[in-house]
Amino acid sequence: DAAIYDAMARLAQDFNVRYPLVDGQGNFGNIDGDNPAASRYTEARMTAVAEALLEGLAEDAVDFRENYDGTLSEPAVLPARFPNLLANGSSGIAVGMATNIPPHNIAELCDACLHLIKVPDARDDTLLNFVKGPDFPTGGVIVESAESMAQAYRTGRGGFRLRSLWQVEDLGRGQWQIVITEIPYQVQKSKLIEKIAELIQTKKVPILDDVRDESAEDIRMVLVPRSKNVDPEVLMGMMFRNSDLEVRFSLNMNVLIDGLTPKVCSMKEVLRAFLDHRREVLLRRSQHRMDKIDHRLEVLEGFIIAFAHLDRVIDIIRYDEEPKAALMREDWSVSHPRAQAEADYVTPGPAHGLGPFLSEVQAEAILNMRLRSLRRLEELELIRERDALAQERIGLVDLLAGEDLQWRKISEQLKETKKTFGKDYAGGARRSQFAEAGVVEEVPLEAMIDREPITLVCSKMGWIRAMTGHIDLTRELKFKDGDGAQWIFHAETTDRILVLGSNGRFYTVLGANLPGGRGMGEPLRLMVDLPNEAEIIDIFIHKPGRKLLVASSAGDGFIVPEDEVVAQTRSGKQVLNVRGDARAKICKPVLGDSVAVVGENRKVLVFELAELPELGRGKGVRLQKYKDGGLSDAITFNVSEGLSWLDPAGRTRSELDLSEWSAKRASAGRMAPRGFPRDNKFT
C-alpha cells in the first residue's frame, strides 16, 4: 500500500495540490520536503472538492470497469462537477510522451465554460479573459507576457515564468532587508535556502550577505544585503537569475481527449471535452432518475389500487394459499363506490394506469406493506407523492428531448459550482499574481563591490594573497621556506585578475575574492582548476579592449582580444592550444606595430604585427623557425622608436636600425645585437 499512501498523502498537501481532495489529520509533510508520517499515525477523509468530483457516481453517470485483478469495479472516469484536469493540474511521463499541466482557479474555469456554452465557437484568446493564467497553490508572481501565455494556451505547449513574492522591509536608519513570503510551485524551501547559502559562500552574488528562514505556518525567508546602498531590484534580479526564486513551469497539455488517443490540446478543446462529458453525465443521470421514477410510480399505482380495494386485498392475503398469484389474477376493475371514486380522482401514470390487473412488482410491494401504512393519511401521502413524481417525470422528458434545456441545466450547475468553490470557499480566491518581468540589466560585479586598493602578491610556488592598500612594492614580505615573491603589483578589489597557465588556459579571479594578506595566502590552484602539472606563466589585471600576444614554447602564437580570454567558471578558458612538450610561454599586451622574437639560440627576428592573425582560440602561426630549441621571449613595439632592452649592467640599450633583423614572419632571424641580455629576455 506504499504507492497508494504516497498518492493519498500528496492529495492532502495544500502546497502541492491547488484544491486538496483529501482532508488529512496528522503529519502529511511540509513544503521543506519532509515526508508524511507513516500511515498508522494519520487519518484521512474526503474534502468537499472530492465529493463534487464523485457527485452522481451512484446514479449511472459514468461507465464502470473491472479493477486490475477483476475483484472489484471502478469508474472509468469521474462525473466531476468541474474540470479537475485543469483545476489541480497533472504531470506524468509515459512511453515516448509526457504531460505537464499547471493548476488553475475553479471559478475562472467555470466562467470560461459558461462563456463557451453561450458562444460555442469562441476564440481561444477570448477564453483568456476568464482564465487569466495558472493559479499555483503556493502563489507566486507570474511574469510571462500575455502574448506568450495566449500562444501557450492556443497550441497546448509553452511555459510560464514564476517568481517568488517579495517585499522590502524597512529596519530604520537606512537599513533594510528583503522578505520573501511566497516561493515558486514545486520548489522545496529547504533546498532553496541551501542553494542561496551556497551562492553566498561562493560569492556568486557578492551583494548578498545572509539568508535566514523565519518561517512558521507561513513562509518568511529573509535576505540580508551586504550594504544598505545596494539596490533591492538589482539584488533580486541577480537572485532570480542564480536561484530557484524564479522557475519556468512548462505547459504540455497532452491528454487522452477521447480516453484512448493522446493529443496535445488547446484550453478550448479541453473545456469543450469537459462540457461534452457534463452533458453525457446529465443525460445518464436524468435517464437513471426517470427509470427510478417509473419504478416508483408503478409501485404507487399498486398501493393506490390496494387502498381502493382494501377489504378484498385483506381477504386474499388472509385466506388464499398463494396471495401473490391471487392478487395478480384478480380483476381490480371498479366494483364498489369507493373504488369508483378513487378511479375518478386518480390520473393514470405514464407507464402503468389503474388497469384491471396488478403486475408482479405491484403485488410484491403490496405484500410487503406494513399494517400501519393502511391509515387514511398514508393514502393521501401516496397520492401526493405520485402526483409530484409524475410532474418531475414530465420535466425529465422535456430535458432529455431538448438540447437547450440541457445546456441551461449545465450552466446552472456550473454557477452553483463557482459559488461553492469560488472566493468565499476556503482557499478559493486566486493565489498567483501577475506582473511585468521588467528588464533586469546586467550589472557588472565591479559595480556591486566596494572599490578598495589592494596589493596582489603571488609567490613562486603559487600562493596568492591580497594585502590591504597599496603597499611599497619593495617591502620585504614573509613567505614559506624555499618560496619567494614572483608577482607583486597594485590593484583594486573590483579588478578582474587574469592568470595564464602553461596548459594554455586563462583563469579569472575577482580581486575581492582573493584571501587576505595576514597569513601566507592560499594556493591559487584551490581557487581555480589549475592542474598540478601546469605552471603559472603570468598574472595581470584585466583591461577591457586591450589585445594580447600569446605564444607557446614551440614558437607558435597569435593575437587575441583580452575580452575573449576572461573565464566565467573555475575551469578557465582554453585559448592557446599546445601539444606534446610545448607549453604556453608568452603573454604580452600589444603596444606597437611590430613584433620582436628571440629564440633560445639567441637569434632575433623582427616583423610587422599585421602578419599575425587575430584569433579567439587556436594553435596560432609560426613566429620564428628553429632547427633546435624553441622560443625564449617575444615583445611588441613601435618600430619608429626602436627596440630597447636592459644590458647586464642594468643600463637601457636601444637599437634604432633594425633592418638587419627585420624579415618575414617564420624566418630564422639573426644573432642578437651586442650587449643583449644573457637570459634572452627583452625585459
Which of 153, 110, 157 minimizes the C-alpha distance to 133?
153
Q: Cell numbers 380483476 correspond to what residue?
A: 331
Which one of the listed residues 41, 68, 345, 507 is annotated catalytic? 41
The kind and range of the H/E element at 561 are strand 556-561
Give the three cell numbers for residue 470. Answer: 597599496
Q: How many CB atoms lie within 10 A of CB 391?
A: 9
The kind and range of the H/E element at 180 are strand 175-182
Main-chain dihedrals φ then ψ at residue 361, nearest 5 degrees: -65, -45
Contacts of 512 (CB under 8 A, 6+ apart): 203, 206, 449, 493, 494
Contact assessment for residue 358 and residue 328, using Cβ atoms and an 8 Å cutoff: yes
Q: Cell numbers 393514502 correspond to what residue?
A: 379
* Dihedral sign computed on CA atoms, order 426, 432, 434, 440: positive
Which of 65, 77, 72, 67 minimizes the C-alpha distance to 281?
77
41 is catalytic: yes
Contact assessment for residue 143 and residue 24, using Cβ atoms and an 8 Å cutoff: no
Q: Cell numbers 513551469 correspond to what residue?
A: 249
Q: Cell numbers 639573426 correspond to what residue?
A: 670
Q: How many CB atoms lie within 10 A of CB 80?
A: 21
β partners of residue 94: 97
Q: Cell numbers 483545476 correspond to what residue?
A: 87
Contacts of 540 (CB under 8 A, 6+ apart): 489, 497, 498, 587
C-alpha 512/C-alpha 567 separation (Å) is 16
In degrees, rounded to 5, the angle at the alpha carbon of residue 357 between the alpha carbons of residues 351 and 360 is 75
C-alpha 83/C-alpha 113 separation (Å) is 10
Question: Exposed, middle or buried: residue 67 (CB in 10 Å: 0-12, 13-18, 19+)?
Answer: exposed
Q: Which of helix, strand or coil describes residue 199? A: helix
Measured between alpha carbons, how far is residue 78 from residues 259, 280, 364, 595 in Å?
12, 12, 36, 82
Which of 559, 590, 588 minimizes the C-alpha distance to 576?
559
Measured between alpha carbons, how far is residue 439 from residues 133, 135, 265 in Å?
22, 24, 32
Main-chain dihedrals φ then ψ at residue 430, nearest 5 degrees: -60, 135
Contact assessment for residue 230 and residue 238, using Cβ atoms and an 8 Å cutoff: no
Q: Which of helix, strand or coil describes residue 599? A: strand
Known catalytic residues are 41
